[in-house]
Structure 1
Amino acid sequence: MNEHSPLRGADAVNERAALDRFASARLWAAAQAPYLASALFALTPLLHGTAPPRPAADEHWNLHLDPATTPAIPVPELGWWLLHQVGHLLRDHHARARPHQDDPLRWARAADAEVNDDLPGAPAGTISPETLGLPDGLLAERYAELLDLLDLPPRLLPCAEPPFTGPEATTALERELLARAVAAEIEARGTAPGGWRRWAEATLRPEVDWRILLARLVRRGLAQAAGRVDYSYRRPSRRAGAAPSIVLPALIRPLPRVAVLVDTSGSVPRTALEQALAELDGVLRAIGHRRLDVICCDTEAHPAQRVRAAAQVELVGGGGTDLRPGFEAAAPRADVLVVLTDGDTPWPERRPRPYVVTCLFGARHAAPAWSSTVRVAQEGSPG
């Protein structure tokens, strides 16, 4: 009998049958995905009559099972649901759901799509990128954005998320250590699906927050550009020439010019561009810049916009992608050039004159070696 079961007086036969079916399903699941075995055996079953018909886990790794329905679920199907729940737990979907509390159904569907992308053999009626008509390999946050554009049939319902009723099966530290152990196992085996491998990489080697990295790279570029001194008669030299009546120019260190090149092709989400522009605006204001010079580009460079705040930028364009005209337009007016793009563009063959910082959205493309690169994570995404 499960010592955590709140139904002490419930039908002992049903409880024993449910626990036996759970044990068999867990072994089946571990055989299908051995890199997840330690996570599967960290689940603590809770038997109670208010559990959903299918197994569902709370954020403390308690697995809620209905003793009346669980024995009738075939072992492979029950094992599939165990892998599904472990996918939610390891990806920390319960915590990532907090910014989406205004529409929990949309978030639950998006989280299911992220998990089931790497989980073949789904039972009928489950949600996946394929059933939603969306691309594979995205995070739940991006699926949630795309779901705003879809009119889904009511039959596509996500898995249930039971409230936490205790006890706390694992502590926060234990969950963190477990996640790192699973990630190490995934990396060591090298046979897990792509989504799990990406998760393991992010778990074992988390990236520096892109905002911090962006500020660091922009300041580095400004420092390098500021080293290019020039002569000016606006500030006469203190050293007198051979004749006292001759005024000599002094060396000055002008404030470097910063330009922003924005990829406004249809492949880059406008919300992501606005988020990065706002962050860049804050960085520049903190170091003394009071204006932004912004050039939008799809396949042509649109007229430059000089604005006082990122919110004033009008994102014009929306066709294909070729940022080379944008580089040509921006290079003469900038010492530091910040490029906002998903990277799906032809790049200049030669290194531009300005110091280039590229903010890349997504992980499918790369920037040239001559660019300092920042991978921009979407809001709410891990890493």
Structure 2
Amino acid sequence: MNAQERFAAARLWAAARAPYLTSALFALTPLIDPAASPRLPSDENWNVHLNPGSTADTPVPELGWWLLHQVGHLLRDHHTRAEPYRDQTLRWDRAADAEINDDLEGAPAEAVSPDALGLPEGLLAERYADLLDLIDVPDHLVACGRAPFTGPSVMTALERELLTRAVAAEIDARGTAPAGWRRWAETTLRPEVDWRTLLAALVRRGLTQAAGRVDFSYRRPSRRAPSAPGIVLPALVRPLLRVHVIVDTSGSIADDTLSRALGELNGILRATGNRRVDVTCCDAAAHPVQRVRDLAQVELVGGGGTDLRPGFEAAARADVVIVLTDGDTPWPERRPRPYTMICLFDGGAAPEWASSVRIRRDAA
């Protein structure tokens, strides 16, 4: 078989091995390139560069493995993500290979993988790039390398984006792909907004919404003239916002996780200019309210079961209530009067009447 025929056979082998990547494999365009390495390097336009000599001499399963590898680079947008490492090409190539190859069985002996490097599996290339600074890479491990040049583009940028989402949807629907591909599909289809950004937006929304609540007060007479003499009209006033933080201190949540989340929340509240904060630690019961000017002053007390309803009762007079919990609790049956935002750790769910943000423990 010549190089083109062997490429076609290798693509069929790869599609049978990883059917969830079939659409991506058949979107590849073979490009004859005598300067290409035997590892079928790809370029950002979804061209695979075939060296006619080495391709014709390489067994079909090995070529198929490299096609799966190159599809991994393209779907995970490694060409774009490589930009910050333009002066560290080899380091990035090794890191990108490590991200892909922990999901590919039957790797050639020279392929870079987390196992071969003695590094943890399941990390992103950027993290592997950091770790590669700390280790000596064995001489026999060789990154797949770059294509010598960028070939013509058969697909538009929009078509490539649609193809990427279609492959992610296929992986998500099958549910049988390796863990790394399932994580990639989840991120592609349901990108996770950084929880700190979302938390800041929700806090500001709550403070803005609560600040719009005004009431009448006779402490400051209205400037409007009364319709009859002797009558004093009340003026509209905007009271100081009362923020109440309910902290779930049941045994299921680690103190260090709560402390870091409280620190982040403290910075947001200070940035908005609000310095009046009441805090209630709550496990199966509400502990005494702590009025603090800095959330670092909060003493976390508790450690029993979980029922946050007493905490909501303690916070009934607040304008904004922020709850830090894993969600494993009974919720009030009715929507509380204050604007309520729930920060969820791990699993669990917030009630429909509250805004919520999910905080990963490893990112808190």
TM-score (norm: length of structure 1): 0.63
After superposition, give the CA deviation of every residue in 1:238-263 in whole Å (9 maximum; x if it has no partner): 698x995x988655322535588999
Aligned to 1:88: 73
Aligned to 1:171: 156
2:146 aligned to which of 131, 138, 161: 161
Q: Secondary structure at the match of 2:149?
A: coil
Aligned to 2:16: 31
Displacement after TM superposition at 1:98 (Å): 2.5
1:372 aligned to which of 344, 347, 355: 355
Aligned to 2:299: none
After superposition, give the CA deviation of every residue in 1:174-213 in whole Å (9 maximum; x if it has no partner): 2123223323433444432343334334444556786875
Task: Kindly indicate whether the alpha-carbon contact (under 8 Å) linking 1:260 and 1:293 is maintained by their aligned counterparts in 2.
Answer: no
Aligned to 1:134: 120
**2:47 paired with 1:97:** no
Instruction: Work out the CA distance in 1 between the residues paired with 2:214 and 2:29.
Output: 66
Cα pair distance change 1:85/1:331, threshold 3 Å: farther
After superposition, give the CA deviation of every residue in 1:270-301 in whole Å (9 maximum; x if it has no partner): 9x9999988x57xx86xxx3367899x9xxxx
**2:238 paired with 1:253:** yes
Displacement after TM superposition at 1:338 (Å): 5.9
Instruction: Work out the CA distance in 2 between the residues paired with 1:359 and 1:98.
Output: 35
Aligned to 1:57: 42
Cα pair distance change 1:144/1:58, threshold 3 Å: same
Aligned to 2:4: 19
Displacement after TM superposition at 1:66 (Å): 2.5
Q: Secondary structure at the match of 1:30?
A: helix
Cα pair distance change 1:274/1:235, threshold 3 Å: same
**2:21 paired with 1:41:** no
Displacement after TM superposition at 1:367 (Å): 5.7
2:185 aligned to which of 187, 197, 200: 200
Instruction: Report matched runs for 1:216-227 at 5 Å.
Output: 217-226=202-211
Q: Which letter maps to 1:373?
A: S
Root mean square deviation of aligned Cα: 5.2
Cα pair distance change 1:276/1:140, threshold 3 Å: farther
Displacement after TM superposition at 1:85 (Å): 0.8
Instruction: Report matched runs for 1:116-135 at 5 Å.
Output: 116-131=101-116, 132-135=118-121
Instruction: Work out the CA distance in 1 between the residues paired with 2:80 and 2:354.
Output: 34
Aligned to 1:300: none
Q: Secondary structure at the match of 1:69?
A: helix
Q: Secondary structure at the match of 1:68?
A: helix
Q: Which letter maps to 2:119?
A: G
Q: Which letter maps to 1:54?
A: R
Stretches of structure 2 lacking an aligned partner (at least 5 in a row): 248-252, 282-289, 297-302
Displacement after TM superposition at 1:79 (Å): 1.0
Q: Which letter maps to 2:202?
A: L
Cα pair distance change 1:274/1:19, threshold 3 Å: farther
Q: Secondary structure at the match of 1:57?
A: coil
Task: Kindly indicate whether the alpha-carbon contact (under 8 Å) linking 2:221 and 2:232 is maintained by their aligned counterparts in 1.
Answer: yes
Instruction: Work out the CA distance in 1 between the residues paired with 2:119 and 2:292.
Output: 38
TM-score (norm: length of structure 2): 0.65
Displacement after TM superposition at 1:170 (Å): 2.8
After superposition, give the CA deviation of every residue in 1:197-232 in whole Å (9 maximum; x if it has no partner): 343344445567868755653344225534665665
Task: Kindly indicate whether the alpha-carbon contact (under 8 Å) linking 1:59 and 1:164 is maintained by their aligned counterparts in 2.
Answer: no
Q: Secondary structure at the match of 1:200?
A: helix
Instruction: Work out the CA distance in 2 between the residues paired with 1:236 and 1:260.
Output: 34
Q: Secondary structure at the match of 2:166?
A: helix
Task: Kindly indicate whether the alpha-carbon contact (under 8 Å) linking 1:260 and 1:292 is maintained by their aligned counterparts in 2.
Answer: no
Instruction: Work out the CA distance in 2 between the residues paired with 1:275 and 1:120.
Output: 41
After superposition, give the CA deviation of every residue in 1:337-367 in whole Å (9 maximum; x if it has no partner): 6679xx8x68776679975545679xx6456
Task: Kindly indicate whether the alpha-carbon contact (under 8 Å) linking 2:35 and 2:148 is maintained by their aligned counterparts in 1.
Answer: no
**2:134 paired with 1:151:** yes
Larger radius of gyration: 2
Displacement after TM superposition at 1:89 (Å): 0.6
Task: Kindly indicate whether the alpha-carbon contact (under 8 Å) linking 1:118 and 1:196 is maintained by their aligned counterparts in 2.
Answer: yes
Q: Secondary structure at the match of 1:161?
A: coil
Q: Secondary structure at the match of 1:124?
A: coil
Q: Which letter maps to 1:134?
A: P
Q: Secondary structure at the match of 1:45?
A: strand
Displacement after TM superposition at 1:160 (Å): 1.1
Cα pair distance change 1:36/1:292, threshold 3 Å: farther
Q: Secondary structure at the match of 1:126?
A: coil
After superposition, give the CA deviation of every residue in 1:35-74 in whole Å (9 maximum; x if it has no partner): 2112112212223232123111111111123233233333
Instruction: Work out the CA distance in 1 between the residues paired with 2:52 and 2:115.
Output: 32
Instruction: Work out the CA distance in 2 between the residues paired with 1:266 and 1:122.
Output: 40
Q: Secondary structure at the match of 1:235?
A: strand
Instruction: Work out the CA distance in 1 between the residues paired with 2:86 and 2:244.
Output: 37
